Amino acid sequence: MCGLLAYLSTDAERVDETRVDGVRHALHCLHHRGPDDTAVWSDGHTVLGFNRLSIIDVDGSPQPLPYAADRYRILFNGEIYNYLELREELRALGAEFATEGDTEAIVAGFHHWGPDVVTRLRGMFAFVIWDTATGTAFGARDPFGIKPLFTARLADGGVVLSSEKKALLELLGGSAGAGGVDPASLQQYLTLQYVPEPATMHRGIRRIESGTRFTVVGGELTTERYFHPVFAPRPVPAGGEQELYDRIAAALDESVAKHMRADVTVGSFLSSGIDSTAIAALAHRYNPDLMTFTVGFERESTSEVDIAAQSAAELGVAHVPVVITAEQFAAAIPEVVWYLDDPVADPALVPLYFVAREARKHVKVVLSGEGADELFGGYTIYREPISLAWAQRVPGVGKKVMAALSGRLPEGMRGKDLLRRASIPLEERYYGNARNFSGAELAAVLRGHDAAVSHVQVTEHLYRQTRAAGYDDVTAMQYVDLFTWLRGDILVKADKMTMANSLELRVPFLDTEVFDLARTLPLDQRVPRGSDATKYALRRAMEQIVPPAILHRRKLGFPVPTAEFLAGPLHEWAHQVIADSGTDEWLDRGRVAAMLTSLRTAEVPSKRVARQLWEVLVFMIWHGIFVEERIVVDVPETVYPVKL
């Protein structure tokens, strides 16, 4: 895990010392991603900057790394878990290596295999290779979007790429230089809880999408998707269900084994559910001294701490709990938002930041369970197409009646949302796990609300692909989540909150070999009918690995009591955020304040209103940092040791 920053000029442009100094200055914004080493290299057309977090070949593999008599220079953020196997393949082709690391395997692979090298990489990555002989650049992001990569064009025509957006804002001269707030991105954010790829909250900055490779030639950046996730459900193998479960267990065990490759200490996050517990149990096989980490709040009903401690005891692993207060939670939010680059309204970001901070005192790498739900069918919402199967038999006029009846029922009444969702097709009702503002609610809060901007613009082409592939509704939801919720929320918070603490996070479920097996699972091995189970095959596969008490436990996932916080100990904090915010151009602050008041006066604070309010508060803080520059975040210098 590292931070890269590349400036690629047009043919007519030449790099001068001012540009080199500008890149060096902006690179400091990424210091938390790589506190072990900083280097800047330039020639007549490019400036390459790098902050390194040393994980493999700790004393070697400096970047920007040269290859082939300095023909190439590579910047690489991530890890390639099959790098040892790739190096052997490449040696057979005559490749020579000057290091022991995975970075050189990528650039050597590009030299021998060309752009198709990306299809051979098993890992998480965002990289840029500069070819001095042709004056062109080539790069890519990993299939699922685990590692980020932002891009923009400077006034001089140069293309810049960076692991974090804030470095590009430095080069562009701030928010105004980046084109200001994008109204469509703001509206999508308030709908989805994040800004969907490839957009960002600024008009002039974009993201290279997951599973995409790119070239920069003559100052022109072009992209091409190389990874197309395809679900192909198959019948249970001839050997029966147990053979299938054994295959899943073996694939995940092999993935964890490769994800344990490091020259530093590897630990694991541990929450209450099967995903992180399975990863920790498998990792313990390869590291008997494995340390696990969890976080919770000072309230018993939602705390993960006790449950995770029990799991750790059953697994026989060392365990470090972190307990935080509401006051600590609020105090950390500006810093958390600064690290995020763009607002993401997932309250679980904050406890994740705290547990990563504690973990970094003990280890330099952690494993985590992200991706299991999307691959194996773990979200409760995936059961909805089964529970609403009856609605498929209702004629069009009947669905209109259900919609009308839903509209007449009071908010919060049981059955209201069921009738509404049963009356509309999947493409309209499902756009990910966050569905906070309705169109009418959003129009009441957001100034300049545009009815033409909706989640349909994000998901329409994805559903078109699922229909062409003949996917059932559950599989279609999983496919949509791979491109929306997973890479927009789950992986952003995982990367940004761990990197904020110079901690590398690895996700063994999001491995191409694991996906190749998960994508073949029949529907009843994901969300079987006649049961409340999810991730059915995964749970069965883990029966010999995960303690029985954990196997069917409902996942909490670092939960945050947002409604209780905003109605109680964080009420005055939230009131001050609203009062100080300079977002009148975008938001009706009076309505926002009324939402906050409603939480305080309600007998039971509305979780839905709290989620909506949280989205707005996060945007207000983001706006105060990156647009108004009113909020100045005191980001601590990274002081972790080079080797751990």
Do 643 and 363 contact (CB within 8 A), yes or no? no
The CA distances from residue 133 to 7, 63, 144, 161, 500, in Å, are: 17, 19, 31, 21, 36
The CA distances from residue 523 to 78, 193, 375, 464, 639, in Å, are: 33, 28, 12, 20, 49
625 strand-pairing partners: none
The tokens describing 8, both together, are: 């690629």
The CA distances from residue 77 to 111, 141, 360, 499, in Å, are: 19, 10, 19, 11
Q: Is the dihedral of CA 635, 64, 146, 166 positive or negative?
A: positive
Omega cis (within 30) before 508 = no
Do 229 and 520 contact (CB within 8 A), yes or no? no
Sheet of 2-8: strand order equals 37-42, 46-52, 2-8, 159-162, 150-153, 205-207
CA 446 – CA 479 distance, rounded (Å)? 30
Known catalytic residues are: 2
Q: Could you report how far apart the first and last alpha carbons of the chain are, in Å?
A: 14
557 strand-pairing partners: none
Half-sphere exposure of 556 (CA within 13 A, CB side): 22
Place of tokens 């750790």: 312
Measuring CA to CA, which residue among 110, 104, 72, 70 is closest to residue 87? 104
User: Radius of gyration (Cα) for the chain, nearest Å?
Assistant: 24
User: What DSSP designation does 312 have?
Assistant: H
CA 251 – CA 513 distance, rounded (Å)? 7
CA 123 to chain centre: 15
CA 376 – CA 521 distance, rounded (Å)? 8
Identity of the residue numbered 107: V
Place of tokens 């697994």: 315
Do 274 and 535 contact (CB within 8 A), yes or no? yes
CA 416 – CA 403 distance, rounded (Å)? 9
Number of H helices, E strands in the chain: 27, 17
348 backbone dihedrals φ, ψ, rounded to 5°: -65, -15
Question: Mutual orientation of helices 165-172 and 17-27 as an angle, nearest 10°?
Answer: 140
